Structure 1
């Protein structure tokens, strides 16, 4: 199988990682040769291609599938890719980044192009404007805004300053911002200069569009947004590794050879920090960097970014989590370094990495949520390089994850008192697919915080939905008393042993309950399938009719049982499910009172 992949984006490199993990030969197409790229199964080639050239390439190299992971605003390229695929009778799929949902607000306006925005600004007589478009759009904007007092937010790279100077922008109209710095730093300008409007494009979370919207609404300043161009029609649109694997299996009957391992966010941050430290010490830019892991193995990664500014360096990688369902797979993780006067290595806030606000996490209060092992790994690499170069200076370490603020809200971090982003984690540096390691660590942290805050009654639940129902049941308990077990019921029950907790109430929805009742303390769908024989035997033992037993044997989802049986404490089938679940759980419980609460799809609790 051969694939033609159009990239030049973080999504493109992530997709190349996914294909390489599947050992699929692919060609990685980018317009220019900027940016590092290396892949065991991928071959990079550069240069723009029209429809005919794409078709000829596919024919010459016997391409089976085209994947479009190019930038959302590359509208001509998108059209060419789909047209070439259709003419060549090849399937074409889109790898799409998460987009910021559009909102209806008088302070957020969407336009088709820049000219439309500038006309609106002139019609509204708005004479003070802040451009958040990025430096590439600066020359065009500056040439079209005569008579408007305009400020430009650009990143603090020498190349950005050069573009601004060549466009004739005065230095006092440049807001020079560190890369991956949050939008809150723009507030003083908005207030002091009474800015009338802001300009940006629909760049997504990585372009901090969500923060720009919040800024506009907070200060009641119009934000004019150039909308994403409409995409052509693809055979399928995919957002992650799992979706790609499902597509390849369903369309090409592709079966993977074995599960791929990956690397932790701590490993990614350490490699980025080591590469950035070398740049800060004056060494030449490298395409790759490596570190030695705790087990003696070597991890080497291609650098996604390696930049040097006037008084800082910045390097990043694209995270490859292997086949583990990790929320940060395919995301950019990087480190920005600068010298400090404290003669110490300090961890400072970086965009997308949360801040610790509660004790008990092993992280100093008010510092970024970089766990102890990654801190140790980063510190070791930096100290080694400083010693090798005989440099006696302090370094500020800012780990950043551009999508971290959005991703953090989907993790346990808000419950753990980590606000504003994800955590940088890892103990071994590696990720085993569907490994317990990371989840057990999270369970332990949740429990430690609950015990530290004197919670004697813990309420276990599988996730946000069941937790909402259980909070209504136990309104007297604080948030820290509600712990999420995901699929790892047994691990949480065992972890609670010896903690001082006196009572545990475990909520479980029907779909997971029937797996637990059958003896599975780990209920993940990758490991446990629906046991129809077990359920039919339960129904027989409860003396249900043959017709009912037959219906039970034909269900595809656990919640369908709620259509067959009345969801009531007097219903024999559900009483049996609860009894079986309790019996299985008791095998892991040593020293606390336990109750099990069965939750229906409608939120009813037995």
Structure 2
């Protein structure tokens, strides 16, 4: 349970973020107010002992202070409570604005400002500081005519009257300030001086600064108090989103089931939808829904990146990879969308998205590393949204990953010919966490279900792409007869033996097949790499031509063989690889289960498919 202190714009935004993340929370505010949040809501003053007691009673695991910048006592209580209880405290602070303009005068404290006011001749003043600050002005001896803009609520008006301020000097106004109602108030009161707190953008400080300048009025600003030390200090809800995702992973309880996440393709699609909707409505959506390839609908939170200009806008999404050890977990994934008058749809490479430089991947060399699956998902969802708005044009879609170039150094992308960034990938849109024990446990359960349904044999492929290829070649099989081994071929066969299956067919693509042929039962790149000497050994055994053997010396990825070899050489090599895979498994597993290896054709560009002699055997 998270204890969130709010009552502010940031408080409500944080509550909505926690709702989106499915993280339970207790929302605490000073007054009841109108707080439309899904979490449990409490209100009232809390001193430090009461705060500590509440944390222990509610089994609080994290403190988030989204209170007002001037809630000085709250900040002290939160940080002291964190120190006493050993909890982590996060502060969501409002970004500071420049206060260098000529018509502004900045004060470090209320007494300093009151001293300056004492020296002024009598004048009419409008304080835009709220009902809680009236007490500071009542220390003045000078008989200034001070008017107060207060929140339009019965509680605020009652508090104002209790201070002794004349009713005519209290001006209730909506919480959401705009230039029109502020200028109306100025016209009605006709002040010669404005006073405000350094309340940040969400406190409409920039609007107050601009309005004062427009009306040629001086504006005095009281600086916000200094914050005590928090474990984490963030300035945007998107930063908090990233921080909470990282913390949820590091603090994960081991007995909980592993959480699925979303691919970079889903995130780029959501960002594209957000930008397109922004262009259609002139308002950036807070979240968007999209359809995955299997028809499931998911929701993603949207953040504004670049407002509409010249038919172009950009939005971002914070990636949640669940419990998978994905380097892009909590990374910013975005997309820039440009509207076209024609029906053309074009993809471009944005910052941090890699460039494909070698054959054998899902994208041709020279193209952005955006796989076909995400491309189809983006176009499909955009067309659905376009129908809603009656849009008939096309798009230029430019995904970007601001940290992509740096994050790519922690992947194998540079080694496999993707330079300058990461890939936009994802066949299903879902990231399923890679945990050895959890993976094997789930695999075992899957097989038990298949056995209970009367299946005597299984088809195992690395993932959805391999399964789709198998179905294309051999026709549909019952859904439960298929299992995905990921990289754990050996563990998959052990599970099949344990469940007493009679036969298992291993459908495998060339990249993993060359590793299995060499004897690797776990084909993850951290455990098995391409062995050039072994490739040459296979080439000799397959009796490849001299030209073919020379061509194979150049490869970095085994998938490149398809584009480098003549059809006859390629077929002989693939048959030899498949034979070597079969030998590996025959030697390592008992005879009471029949194992059949099928090398599947790896789909590349259409031109290569036409000339490729190989199919599953």
Which TM class, normalised by the smaller chain length? 0.3 to 0.5
Larger radius of gyration: 2
TM-score when normalising by structure 2 = 0.45
What is the TM-score of this pair, normalised by structure 1? 0.45
